[in-house]
Structure 1
Amino acid sequence: MLPPLLVVAVFFTSHLIPGGYSQEWRTQDMLTPTPAGDAASLPYIRNTANAPREFFEGDDMLLTCVVSNLGNHTVWWSKYEDRKKTILTVADSRIVIDDRVSILHDRAGGDVWVLVVKNVKVSDNGVYVCEVNSQPSLTSRYMVTVVQSEQRFLLVSQVPST
């Protein structure tokens, strides 16, 4: 029996991080399998927080993906824009040229995979995806917005003083 599927709607407003592998975006990439039944040996993504994330320009962005029962499967992070997918990291390796991008993971077999983008820019806006190469593939999506640093000061100045 196949696991139930959760359809995730995502809006695109981003620019890709330079470099990396691109492929055509497919509608079926929007289907996110969820664990079901007694599949203890199959990998699954847990504690996913698909809520939109907002960062200020210049901040460091950390996105966390927790994958249990990974076994011989591989985790990678991608960014989507204009129906294109750019792979940022595969396992513990950075694929893109952009040296602001890195991955944090316990090589001793930990479940936590953290994508790090240092000193974010407005061009880093977009949909970031943690994916496991299982069958069917597992995904967790993060809609990221980077706000210009000038707006940070506007927001702070609008806070009423007590």
Structure 2
Amino acid sequence: MDLTEADPRLPAVSVTLPRLGFLILVLATWTSPTHADGVAVDPYPELTTVPYFLSPGHRNITTSIGQTAYLHCRVALLGDKAQVSWIRKRDLHVLSSGMVVFASDQRFQVIHPEKSENWTLQIKYAQLRDSGVYECQVNTAPKLSMSYILNVVESRSIILGPEYVKAGSTINLTCIINQVNMPGKVSM
């Protein structure tokens, strides 16, 4: 239907309603850019009044058995009513809501400095069973969520050197570690 048919006093307009709907759809799509990892980017964050995720950094974390794993979730404009929660996807266990930790396992803790946008899930003494997907959620309507993958691996090392040595001899030992770029210490 042409808009001029409704009232002959209106100037002639050639825009039809379906085209207008298409234009709105194109504009809405154009103003919602995303990072390469699919996280929405607010082009005008200073105008936003609802919580949103800041650039998450690493979302695929690898640690060794026995080390401490850190999953960093950054949420801006959380306000007084919204809460950040951590969920373990394997069993849909709610690990925390705000600073309250529901996990009976004392290795799980939430680190949130006062007035900070950082909500870090800390898992001490990581075990192979801790590997999997964890989700940082904000209880807005609709719910905001961001997934993190934790890989807990077993580090192994081999020490090469002579089997027997004479007292007072100089020896050369070589330590070969199978995990590259892992946090932690090598001590002898």
Same fold (TM over 0.5): yes
SS in 1 for 2:88: strand
Counterparts of 1:113 and 1:99, CA distance in 2: 18
Aligned residues: 130
Matches within 5 A, 1:2-151: 34=40, 36=42, 40-49=48-57, 51-71=59-79, 72-81=81-90, 84-107=91-114, 109-150=115-156
| Percent of aligned pairs with the same amino acid | 25
Counterparts of 2:179 and 2:126, CA distance in 1: 24
Unpaired segments ≥5 residues, structure 2? 1-27, 159-175, 181-188
Mapped contact 1:50–1:143 kept (Cα < 8 A): no
SS in 2 for 1:123: helix
RMSD after superposition: 2.8
SS in 2 for 1:149: coil
CA-CA distance at 1:105 after TM superposition: 0.5
Q: Which amino acid aligns with 2:146?
A: S
Counterparts of 1:157 and 1:147, CA distance in 2: 10
SS in 1 for 2:129: helix
Q: Which has the higher strand share?
A: 1
Mapped contact 2:155–2:177 kept (Cα < 8 A): no
Unpaired segments ≥5 residues, structure 1? 7-31
Which residue in 2 is equivalent to 1:156? 177
CA-CA distance at 1:34 after TM superposition: 3.0
CA-CA distance at 1:50 after TM superposition: 5.4
